[in-house]
Amino acid sequence: MIRINLKKKISQRVVNGHPWIFNNEVDIIDSEVKGGEIAEVYTHDKKFVGTGYVNPRSQIIVRLLSREKNVEINEQFFYDRLIQCWEYRKKLGYIQNCRLVFGEADSLPQLIIDKFNNYFVIQTLALGIDVWKPAIVAAINRIFKPAGIYERNDVPVRELEGLSQQKGFLSEPFDTKITINENGLKFQVDVENGQKTGFFLDQQDNRRTIQHIVKGADVLGAFTYTGTFEIHAAHYGARSVLGLDISENAVQQAAKNAELNNVQNICRFQTANAFDVLKQWSREDKRYDVVMLDPPAFTKSRETLQKAITGYKEINLRGMKLIKPGGFLVTSSCTNLVSPVLFQQVIEMAAKDARRRIRQVAFHTQSPDHPVIWGMENTHYLKFLIVQVI
Ligand code: SAH
């Protein structure tokens, strides 16, 4: 077994539970290490820290899989971990559709598995987990007898690990447009060509929180993707709903989903750049009872964090200006570098510039099938805020 020793002066981060070890935190590697191999990690004074997978090409040289001594990383290990993940979701009632595995938060670093009915979509985002793909697929087959498994590894982050971008079936081919049920509504999930794994499960609970504020309301939703929030709004009794997305494909899918739920007369969708349109409409004195914003992550790096903050401020400022007095802003941020407190500050600045007073109605995060690990900031990534705009 390869042994890796941590430097004397490394932060308590790893010992306290963080699963990542950076290459400048490592002192001695006792043999030539190949990417994807399993190693045991020890402190400088030889205390066992954990077992993980190695990639000398990555800045994160080790990602820990286990803190227990003498654990063998093999097919059974992944089966046992997946069982634990499934038990947790079942316990919390996330049975039909859920994020079955949320990487680091499930002690399976860089592994994502989304479950849609009995179909599974997998992402293996680091070399050390990618080599275990056959074991992970075997575990899914054993536990679920799935209708199908699809790989969505067409993500640039894999290249940092020396992995290619790819997607395709990990089971017999199947129709990759799957219809799921969420909160009593139907949505088509395109696991082959949709964004990320095809559907944003992390907002599944938040979509219900708009139930009362949209009743009888004229609703504007920007960054609509497959129209989930907008179709919920129509279902909960909105008078009119308009959803905007820059992607023509998304708008078509959203319109199809509206038809699936028989709300096409209330819900319209339009291809547009939300930044341009919201600005223009506030000048034209268009007004809505509820404005909903759910933009994509604006940055993944600290260097461009300021730009992301400017983006959030801009879009929320424009959104608030469009809201009738006493109406509501429903606003999200999935950029993990923007902390919940920072997000609140940005909204506060936007309100100031829009010359509106706001009251917090609800402030949530992602659904618990994406658990948050304290001390691992990037697991607490989603901010979902409802404010009344006075
Ligand atoms: N609300 C959705 C998820 C939105 S994902 C849900 O719950 O499923 C973000 C969406 O914003 C993507 O569909 C992307 O196409 C869209 N988008 C990105 N930039 C945009 C822009 N400038 N204007 C409008 N839409 C944009």
Give 164-215 as a 3 state SS string.
CCEEEECCCCCCCEEEEEECCEEEEEECCCCCCCCCCHHHCCHHHHHCCCCC
- Among protein residues, the one whose CA lies closest to atom 8 of ligand 1: 200
Ligand 1 atom at minimal distance to the Cα of residue 224: 1
Beta bridge partner(s), residue 121: 114, 150
Entry pTM: 0.96
Q: How far is Cα of residue 311 from the mean position of the Cα atoms in its chain?
A: 19
* Dihedral of alpha carbons 169, 66, 128, 380, sign: positive
Report the alpha-carbon angle 116-365-137, nearest 5: 30
Q: What pLDDT score was predicted for residue 80?
A: 98
Taking only the tens place, the pLDDT of each residue in 272-282 is 999 999 999 99
Distance CA 238, CA 221 (A): 12
Measured in Å, residue 157 CA sits from the centre of ligand 1 at 20
Q: What pLDDT score was predicted for residue 300?
A: 80
Instruction: CATH 2.30.130.10 in the chain: give the residue spans.
Output: 2-66
Pocket test for ligand 1, best of 226, 245, 381 (most atoms within 8 A of CB): 245
Measured in Å, residue 164 CA sits from the centre of ligand 1 at 26
Q: Which residues contact 43 (CB under 8 A, 6 or more apart)?
A: 5, 6, 15, 49
What confidence tier does 299 reach under pLDDT thresholds 50, 70, 90?
confident
What confidence tier does 15 reach under pLDDT thresholds 50, 70, 90?
confident
Average pLDDT, the chain: 96
In this structure, the residues whose C-beta lies within 6 A of any atom of ligand 1 are 195, 200, 203, 222-226, 228-229, 244-247, 250, 273-275, 294-296
Measured in Å, residue 355 CA sits from the centre of ligand 1 at 26
Q: Contact at 8 Å (CB) between 264 and 255?
A: yes
- Among protein residues, the one whose CA lies closest to atom 15 of ligand 1: 247
State the pairing for strand pair 218-222/185-190. Answer: unpaired
What confidence tier does 13 reach under pLDDT thresholds 50, 70, 90?
confident
Report percent pLDDT > 90 for the chain: 91
Distance CA 131, CA 252 (A): 37
Q: What pLDDT score was predicted for residue 232?
A: 98
Measured in Å, residue 195 CA sits from the centre of ligand 1 at 10
Instruction: CATH 3.30.750.80 in the chain: give the residue spans.
Output: 75-175
Q: Which residues contact 52 (CB under 8 A, 6 or more apart)?
A: 19, 21, 38, 39, 41, 62, 63, 64, 65, 66, 109, 128
Q: Which residue has the tokens 């909105």?
A: 238
Report percent pLDDT > 70 for the chain: 99
Ligand 1 atom at minimal distance to the Cα of residue 296: 9
CATH number 3.40.50.150 given to 200-389: yes
Taking only the tens place, the pLDDT of each residue in 158-203 is 999 999 999 999 999 999 999 999 999 999 999 999 999 999 999 9
Q: Dihedral, CA atoms, 34, 37, 38, 39, nearest 10 degrees? A: 0
Measured in Å, residue 295 CA sits from the centre of ligand 1 at 5
Judge whether residue 132 has pLDDT over 70. yes
Taking only the tens place, the pLDDT of each residue in 75-101 is 999 999 999 999 999 999 999 999 999
- Among protein residues, the one whose CA lies closest to atom 11 of ligand 1: 223
Measured in Å, residue 362 CA sits from the centre of ligand 1 at 22
Q: Contact at 8 Å (CB) between 357 and 390?
A: yes
Instruction: CATH 3.40.50.150 in the chain: give the residue spans.
Output: 200-389
Pocket test for ligand 1, best of 182, 225, 267, 269 (most atoms within 8 A of CB): 225
CATH number 3.30.750.80 given to 75-175: yes
Query: What's the rounded mean pLDDT across residues 261-275?
Result: 98
Measured in Å, residue 102 CA sits from the centre of ligand 1 at 22
User: In angstroms, what CA-CA distances link 189 with 45, 204, 332, 369, 382?
Assistant: 51, 14, 21, 18, 21
Q: Give the class (CATH, top level) of 2-66.
A: mainly beta
What confidence tier does 29 reach under pLDDT thresholds 50, 70, 90?
confident
